Amino acid sequence: MNLILIKLSKKFKFKLTFIFIYLIILIRLFNIFIFKFNFMLIDTHAHINFKDFKIDAEETIQRALDKNIWMIIVGSEYKTSQRSIKYANKYEKGIYSAIGLHPVHLEDIKIENKSKDNSYSFYSRAEEFNYDLYKKLATFEKVVAIGEIGLDYFHIDSKNDILKVKKKQQDVFRQQLELAIKSNLPVIIHCREAHEDLINILKSFKKEYKNFLPKDKPWGVVHCFSGDEDLAWQYFSLGLIISFNGLITFSKTWDDLIRKMPLEKFIIETDCPYLTPEPYRGKRNEPLFVQYVANRIAEIKKLDIKKIAEVSTNNARNLFNV
Ligand SMILES: [Zn+2]
């Protein structure tokens, strides 16, 4: 009798161990599932193609992908646009490219910013916008947007003819808006101290091309949004959405706007290597840190981080068709 009991308990023990291991595997799989699908984020504006990531671009991309963070690598001139495609092509999924000529690259200028949070310095050699060359880049499968394009009156070199530079910026911006329509791609817009002129260009563009713009979804994003509520609603009514980055983790300027803005009107970004969010302020920014931007929006809107991750990711996927 005793022997039978021992045999039974051995069998039972074996079964228990088996059930236990099975349960652990199930929990692990469940965790991976929850993590992968509830906390997916998209950094919609990353400059991994800039010299700051020359040595470790691929490790930086991988660090983000390991945490289920996708990204759009944004070009600012022909060379960095080409490079963004080169990186995107190395990955089957999750890494995409935007190509365009940024307004600061239209003149020879030394760009310098010595603020503690956002220090950078580079010399920009003027690039002549070549529509056909950019059109060719836009045909690559991984290119999901034309950007970054726009107006930047803050960085104009005072030694240059300011009116002439502004005129050139506006002209190149219009050409790239047309390129986007003809390539069936959304736009990523940069704007600094030029919102009035930008809105006027967008209004007339929208009027001219209204039959070609998508009606049921946005056709572009104003990245690194720095305006007020009134301006945000002007962009919304033009069919655009706005994007926030690390700035909102150390400035309360946009808290009210973030609280009030509809959930379908925003996406998130890092603009790395610049504008590093708290708690990494002062260090080089990278796509992994986009989680702190999502977290701050969740705090301000008093919503669960999962909800912010879900809506910002859906908004980005909808805008960029990824
Ligand atoms: Zn940028």
CA distances from 44 to 14, 102, 117, 322 (A): 51, 16, 21, 11
Mean pLDDT within 65-76: 97
Residue 28 reports pLDDT greater than 60: no
State the Cα–Cα distance between residues 148 and 47, nearest whole angstrom.
11
pLDDT at 166 over 60: yes
Least reliable range by pLDDT among 56-70, 106-120, 300-314: 106-120
Residue 101 CA to residue 84 CA, distance in Å, equals 13
Please compute, for residue 149, the number of CA atoms within 13 A of its CA located in the half-sphere on the CB side: 29
Does the pLDDT value for residue 5 go beyond 80? no
Residue 102 CA, ligand 1 centroid: distance in Å: 8
Q: Give the residue carrying structure tokens 């808290």.
A: 255
Tell me: pLDDT of 13 over 70: no
Look at residue 7 and tell me whether its pLDDT is greater than 70: no
pTM of the model: 0.86
Sorting pLDDT into bands at 50, 70 and 90, what band is 34?
very low
Distance from Cα 201 to the centre of ligand 1, integer Å: 20
Task: For residues 203-224, give the mean pLDDT.
Answer: 95
Mean of the per-residue pLDDT values of the chain: 90
Phi, psi dihedral angles at 112 (to 5 degrees): -140, 135
The pLDDT value recorded for residue 37 is: 46
* Residue 272 DSSP symbol: B
Mean pLDDT on 4-14:
59
Residue 210 pLDDT > 80, yes or no? Answer: yes
pLDDT in tens, 216-256: 999 999 999 999 999 999 999 999 999 999 999 999 999 99
Distance 45 CA to ligand 1 centre (A): 6
Token pair 């720095």 is found at: 226
Separation of CA 173 and ligand 1 centre (Å):
15
pLDDT: which is higher, 9 or 146 = 146
Name the band, by pLDDT with cuts 50, 70 and 90, for residue 39.
Answer: confident
The pLDDT value given to residue 32: 46
Structure tokens given for 241: 């959405």
Please state the rounded mean pLDDT for residues 18-32.
62
pLDDT of residue 99: 98
Determine which of 24-33, 74-83, 135-144, 286-295 has the lowest per-residue pLDDT on average: 24-33
Ion ligand 1 nearby residues (CB, 5 A): 271
| Backbone dihedral angles phi then psi of residue 289, each to the nearest 5 degrees | -75, 0
| Inter-residue contact 64 to 286 (CB < 8 Å) | yes
The H-or-E segment that residue 46 falls in is: strand 41-46
Q: Is 91 helix (H, G, I), strand (E, B) or coil?
A: coil
Reply yes or no on whether the pLDDT at 140 is more than 50.
yes
254's tokens? 């946009």
d(CA 100, CA 228): 26
Ligand 1 centroid distance, CA of 267 (Å): 14
* Sign of the CA dihedral running 250, 256, 258, 259: positive
Q: Are 256 and 226 in contact (CB under 8 A)?
A: no
Does the pLDDT of residue 314 top 60, yes or no? yes
Between the CA of 148 and the centroid of ligand 1 the distance, in Å, is 7
Nearest residue to 257 via CA among 288, 235, 278? 235
Confidence band for 124, pLDDT divided at 50, 70 and 90: confident
Tokens of 12: 């039972």
The alpha carbon of 188 and the centre of ligand 1 are apart by a number of angstroms equal to 9
For residue 243, what are the contacts with CB-CB under 8 A and spacing of at least 6?
Answer: 44, 45, 221, 222, 223, 224, 225, 266, 267, 268, 269
pLDDT reported for residue 92: 95
Give 164's contacts (C-beta < 8 A, 6+ positions apart).
none
Q: What is the whole-number distance in angstroms between the Cα of residue 124 and the centre of ligand 1?
A: 15
Residue scoring higher pLDDT (124 or 255): 255
Q: What gap in Å lies between CA 132 and CA 74, rounded to an integer?
A: 19
DSSP type of residue 320? H
For 247-298, how does the pLDDT look when each residue is reduced to its tens digit (9 = 90+)? 999 999 999 999 999 999 999 999 999 999 999 999 999 999 999 999 999 9
| Closest to 84 in 3D by CA, of 150, 142, 149 | 142
Q: How confident is the model at residue 30 (pLDDT cuts 50, 70, 90)?
A: low
Do residues 278 and 270 make contact, with C-beta atoms less than 8 angstroms apart?
A: no
